Amino acid sequence: MIQLNKGTDRGHADHGWLESWHSFSFADYYDPKKMGVASLRVINDDRIAAQGGFPTHPHRDMEIVTYVLSGALAHRDSMGNGSIIQAGDVQKMSAGTGIRHSEFNPSQDTPVHLLQIWIQPNQSGITPSYAQKSYTRQDKKGRLCLIASPDADGDTILLQQDARLYAAILTAEDRIEHPLPANRIIYLHVATGELTANQLTLTAGDAIILQDEAMLTLSTPSEAEILLFELNPRIS
């Protein structure tokens, strides 16, 4: 089974300093048919203007992953972390019992483009934690690069959930054939560019949900960057 979710059908908010597209119900956007997939609850496609950002605000009991596509994002939190997240960087906060943080674009003239992802953890009330890793273009070029996992496989970012997150960059010379594990839900999100996935043509913002499929075949006529989530259909 393959289900197509068009990017043009996402929720949309334009606050001037922030333009955001919501793959699932979020804030003022509500669609009872789009409440997430398994433990995946939020994918917000955000563009933050120069000097714009989110003031300090709280989170709890959520795995929050930030994936920067272009530009840079400054982060500060109540755990004492302060960092600049660059394109190619992946940041994760396990909010657990509660954190407060701020995010803003430190540039004077360049917007930042990022995906913010929320994954429901497998237990509540854990001690908050923070992680950040860099993955180069070459790490992701022409292959699905594992960037987060429940057991920190290959020194990836640790997720407090039975979920694996992969990233890939494809050019016209690349073709990925990825066998799909049984009894899992696959959520594929196109971050940039145009992609052919199992003969479906997708553009930036589009996503597909795959279940009970044996193989995923990916190619592009130009260039595309994608995220792939491998999810347990039974939320633990």
Given a contact cutoff of 8 angstroms between Cβ atoms, the answer to whether 184 and 166 are in contact is no
Residue 152 confidence class, pLDDT cut points 50, 70, 90: confident
Whether 132 maps to a domain, the answer reads: yes
What tens digit of pLDDT does each residue of 209-235 get? 999 999 999 999 999 999 999 999 987
What tens digit of pLDDT does each residue of 161-196 get? 999 999 999 999 999 999 999 999 999 999 999 999
Whether 183 maps to a domain, the answer reads: yes
β 157-158/145-149 pair status: parallel
The predicted model scores a pTM of 0.96
Whether 23 maps to a domain, the answer reads: yes
Whether 49 maps to a domain, the answer reads: yes
Q: What is the mean pLDDT of residues 32-44?
A: 97
Measured CA distances, 39 to 47, 70, 120, 185, 229 (Å): 25, 27, 5, 10, 10
Residue 45 confidence class, pLDDT cut points 50, 70, 90: very high
pLDDT score recorded for residue 40: 98
The CATH number given to whatever domain includes residue 53 is 2.60.120.10
Q: What is the mean pLDDT of residues 137-141?
A: 96
Whether 224 maps to a domain, the answer reads: yes
Total domains present in the chain: 1
**Burial letters 165-198, b for 16+ CB under 10 A, else e:** bbbbbbeeebebebebeeebbbbbbbbbbbbbbe
Whether 158 maps to a domain, the answer reads: yes
What are the structure tokens assigned to 177, written together? 């054939």
Separation of alpha carbons 19 and 136, rounded Å: 26
Which DSSP category does 220 fall into?
-
The beta-strand segments (E) located in 156-205 are 157-158, 163-171, 175-179, 185-197, 200-203
pLDDT score recorded for residue 235: 75
Whether 236 maps to a domain, the answer reads: no
What are the structure tokens assigned to 19, written together? 């333009």
What are the structure tokens assigned to 145, written together? 């690069």
Backbone angles phi, psi at 8, to 5 degrees: -70, -15
pLDDT score of 153 more than 90 = no
Which range marks the domain in which residue 115 is found?
Answer: 2-231
Whether 180 maps to a domain, the answer reads: yes
